[in-house]
Amino acid sequence: MIRSLINIISWRAFLLVLLTSVLVQADDFVISDVKIAVTTSESVRKLYESIPYPSSFDKPIQLTSGDDFKMIFVVNDKQTQKGVQPHQAFLTLTSEKNGNQIPIIIRVRENGKSKVELDMKSAPDELLSSPGNYSLDLIIGTFSYNDPLKYHVGTLEIDVPIQSSGPSPVVYGPKPEIHHIFRPDEKLPPIWLSYSFMAIVLIPWVFLIGAWAYIGVNVSLLARAPESSLMSILFLGSLLAIEILFYNYWTHLNIFQTLTWLTGLSIVAFITGQKALSDVQKWRSLGLR
Amino acid sequence: MRCLLFIFAFVLAVGVFRVEPRSTTGNRVLVLLDKEDDKALYSKFFNSLEEREYQLTYKLPTDSTVDLFSYGERAYDHVINFAPKTKNYKDKVNPLSLLNFVNKGGNILLGASSELSETMRDFAREFDIDFDDIDTSVIDHFNYDISDDGKHTLINAKGITNNEAILTKNVIEGPPVLFRGIAHKVGTIPLLTKVLWAGETAYSYETKADQQVDQEPLVVGNKVMLVSALQARNNARVTFVGSTELFSDRFFDSPIQRTNSAESFPKSGNEDFAKDLTKWTFQEKGVLKVTSRHHHKENETEELELYRIKDNIIYTIEISEYANDHWQAFNGTDVQFEAIMLDPYIRKTLTPLPTSPEQQARKYKAHIQLPDVYGVFTFKVNYKRSGYSYIEDSSVVAIRPFRHNEYPRYISAAYPYYTGAASMIVGFLLFSAIWFFNKESSKIVKKKTS
């Protein structure tokens, strides 16, 4: 009888606790016994610290490849100080570089004891492909509690060689400008070299003029009989015109324009040339030369 | 005669009073619902669409009379699918025909819920969208609304795109959007744009109270997508909304206040958000078109098909944007020109020119020196930005090398040759002149005779 009474009372108490937890919903979580440890691949314990709950671990926690990060803590109800098993218990790593979040799911035992591990040997690719500083936060929430808990544990410093995670996905947006690099102009020899060869090319003129001076070259026939040398002047003029035409061909005329002009000029040159040469023959026979 | 005149007047009147659809695609909308009565749940939303001159046709996906196509052409311009629960789609309306509908330029607004059927999940996968398993919901113990029923699934969306091609500024900065539904994960294809997402404490899981999250959820934190939008390569738009309730009258009129927060709004941002989202999905905004394009040599005006290497050319393109029910000058500043022969040889950002308000397009201009590589080039403006319809305008030109007479005529290295030739010419003329007019001097004559 007494036993059943006690039973009923305990059941009532249990129901009451259940009801308060559902109706009042003012309960908070509390975290205790937070301990973190980092073990290297040679099983050497690099770091072992316990953190008093509301404060964060102020030094960055360094993790290199092969390291194993462990964290244990207890989740309790603030009022009853009993362990709770929340729906959501995540340890999230938030990249300080790009805000990318990597969650680690924590299994909480019925008595609230929890253990979470980040083994760099089997870490998610997302983490390995972008090393750097990550903010380490513990998020605990459940349906029956109004106030979830977010606790900043500290900062992780992931120091691993960057693993390429394949080609980066295409993102639409402005692309970098491309300025075409033009082939450089061909290198020319120094200008003084060109000028000195020009001078060398002109040297024969010295000999020519010297030789002409020595033999006493003159144009006295032109002065003596200007009227009879008209044809010769015209012939020389047509030769000069042909040379000027060739110069123009070189600079801007095309072959068809040039040939048209050349036809006309060569007829003139042919006729005047024939006359001029017969004049020369005439002078010679007259003994004028 | 009078009869003819009457008919003419009638035709004229119809022409004048014909309602111009606000959407650039059209105004025929097919609404798919799980049951007929559901129409009443979204009455405000549907009314707002009717006010914007859309013709709504309500059907059940199980109705065998409804067909998306008639004689191979689209029978509707847009589809609103608010039938997430329906599993047995008929032959005429099913994921495959909806996909064909998008391929033919139709737009789709897909509303999902926690009871989303596998049929629609398959449809979404075609667009690189992965909805979470059935019976899962977006849960956020930090950002649920005060009117939540203890499941922490009625959440205030935390992240909203700041893309003003999709949402107007007052929606982006306005009251938060109320959401209750399923999460999805977006893939990496560039056609997708994230529109609405959850806060960093959210996750997607089943909501049984006595359970603990022991398997990694599909998405966690700000990767929990609530609304995302896709614009296909043919500019058809498909919007995925994880919650049909987002469009309900109840959510439109509901006040919104986040738990543990003093900030409250008398009305959630849902109504304005839904309006902007449908405007974008149904091609009422963010639509671009090229009105003209021209290229010519500097100091000339004629558009050529053949340019020379290293030519200086001017390229102009005019782009118009559809917004607020009319075509207006586009305001983008990052339109780029490319000269491509297999690879781009030149990429240059075009300068936007100022416009007056009555102008319907903005001119973009660039001075370009063509590369010193000859061949067939494509002048291309490939403007793809999330939220805006894609522009891919190209013109093909040939670029030829220098002709023989286009090279420089005087090179310093060849000066001796020029001098040689000139000296030869002068010598020849001079010699000829002397040969004609020389009088041999007597001393040489003497030598000869002696």
Domain boundary pick from B259, B281, B303: B281
Q: Which of A107, A108, A236 shows the shortest C-beta gap to B429?
A: A236
Query: How many Å apart are CA B218 and CA B206, to the nearest integer?
Result: 11
The pLDDT score that the predictor gives to residue B237 is 95
Amino acid B2: pLDDT = 57
Does a structural domain hold residue B82? yes
CB contacts of B432 in chain A (<8 Å) are 236, 239
Closest CA to B102 of B322, B319, B283: B283
Mean pLDDT by 10 residues, chain B (450 residues): 56 49 86 90 94 92 86 92 86 86 94 91 92 91 86 88 91 91 92 92 84 83 92 95 93 88 88 94 93 93 92 94 90 93 94 89 94 94 93 94 85 92 94 84 51
Confidence at residue B147, expressed as pLDDT on a 0 to 100 scale: 86
User: Given this model, what pLDDT does residue A224 score?
Assistant: 67
Q: Is residue B191 within 8 Å of B129, Cβ to Cβ?
A: no
Give the span between the Cα atoms of B370 and A180, in whole angstroms. 8
Does residue B170 sit in the same domain as residue B187? yes
Q: Same structural domain for residues B67 and B106?
A: yes
Q: Do A103 and B203 touch (CB under 8 A)?
A: yes
Check CB contact under 8 Å for B432 and A236.
Answer: yes
Between CA B358 and CA B362, with CA B361 as vertex, the angle to 5 degrees is 105
Could you report the per-residue pLDDT of A73-129, keeping only the tens digit for each? 888 887 788 888 888 888 888 988 888 888 888 888 888 888 888 888 888 888 888
Same structural domain for residues B104 and B203? yes
A169 has pLDDT over 90: no
Does one domain contain both B155 and B271? yes
Q: Quote the pLDDT of residue A256.
A: 95
* Predicted ipTM beyond 0.85: no
Is there a contact between B142 and A173 if contact means CB atoms under 8 Å apart? no
Q: Cβ–Cβ of A172/B190 closer than 8 Å?
A: yes
3-class DSSP state of A273: helix
pLDDT of A173-191, one tens digit each?
899 999 999 988 888 889 9
| Of the partner residues B201, B222, B411, the one whose CB lies closest to the CB of residue A150 | B201
> B150 and A89: CB-CB below 8 Å?
no
Mean pLDDT score, A56-72: 85
Chain A CA closest to residue B382: A174
Last residue of a domain, one of B281, B306, B328: B281
Task: For residue B364, give the CATH number of its domain.
Answer: 2.70.50.30
Distance CA B218, CA B188 (A): 15
Candidates B384, B364, B382; CA nearest to B291 is: B364
pLDDT at residue A227 greater than cutoff 70: no
Q: Do A174 and B349 touch (CB under 8 A)?
A: yes
Verify that B254 and B295 share a domain, yes or no: no
State which amino acid sits at residue B368: I
Chain B residue at shortest CA distance from A287: B439
Please tell me whether residue B349 adopts helix, strand or coil conformation: strand
Q: How far apart are CA A151 and CA A247, in angstroms?
A: 90
Contact A201 B348 (CB under 8 A): no
8 Å CB contact of B212 and A170: no
Cβ neighbours of residue A217 under 8 Å, at least 6 residues apart?
A: B434, B438
pLDDT at A26 over 60: no
d(CA A236, CA B315): 54
Identify the CATH number of the domain in which residue B50 sits: 3.40.50
Q: A197–B346: do the CB atoms touch at under 8 Å? A: no
What are the DSSP calls for A2-28, one per residue? HHHHHHHHHHHHHHHHHHHHHHT---B
Residue B3 falls within a domain, yes or no?
no
Model pLDDT, residue A226: 62
B330 & B212 share domain = no
Question: Given A90, A107, A177, which is nearest B220 (Cβ)?
Answer: A90
The chain A residue lying nearest B336, using CA atoms, is A174
Q: How confident is the model at residue A48 (pLDDT cuts 50, 70, 90)?
A: confident
Residues B103 and B65 in one domain: yes
Residues B423, B384: one domain? no
Is B410 a domain residue? no
Cross-chain Cβ contact B429/A239 below 8 Å: yes
Contact A178 B347 (CB under 8 A): yes
Is A201's pLDDT higher than 90? yes
| Residue B321 located in a structural domain | yes
Answer whether residue B268 is part of any domain: yes
Same domain, B270 and B292: no
CA dist., res. A104 & res. A92, Å (int): 6
Q: Is residue B63 part of a domain?
A: yes
Tell me which DSSP letter residue B390 carries: P
CA atoms within 13 A on the CB side of B196: 30
Residue B128 is part of which domain span?
Answer: 22-281
Q: How many CB pairs under 8 A join A and B?
A: 180
Mutation pick from A139, A208, A250 vs chain B, by most beta carbons of B within 10 Å, is A139
CB neighbour class for A214 (10 Å; exposed up to 12, middle 13-18, buried from 19): exposed
DSSP A127: H
The answer to whether residue B70 sits within a structural domain is yes
Distance CA A17, CA B352 (A): 69
- Contact call for residues A35 and A71 (beta carbons, < 8 A): yes
Out of B207, B220, B440, name the one closest to residue A289 (CB): B440
Q: Considering the domain boundaries, does residue B11 fall inside one?
A: no
> Are residues B139 and B43 both part of a single domain?
yes
Q: What's the total number of domains in chain B?
A: 3
> Are B199 and B221 part of one and the same domain?
yes
Do B320 and B239 lie in one domain? The reply is: no
Q: What is the rounded distance in angstroms from the CA atom of residue A80 to the CA atom of residue A124? A: 37
The residue of B161, B185, B212, B341 whose CB has the most chain A CBs within 10 angstroms, and thus the best one to mutate to test that interface, is B212
Question: How far lies A29's CA from each of A64, A77, A80, B106, B199, in Å?
Answer: 33, 5, 10, 51, 21
Residues linked to residue B290 through DSSP beta bridges, in sequence order: B319
**Preferred mutation among A217, A238, A280 to probe B, highest tally of B CBs within 10 A:** A217
Is the pLDDT at A7 greater than 70? The verdict is no
Report the pLDDT value the prediction gives residue B7, as an integer from 0 to 100: 57
Instruction: Give the best residue of B144, B191, B211, B438 to mutate against chain A (max A CB count within 10 A).
Output: B438
Contact B436 A177 (CB under 8 A): no
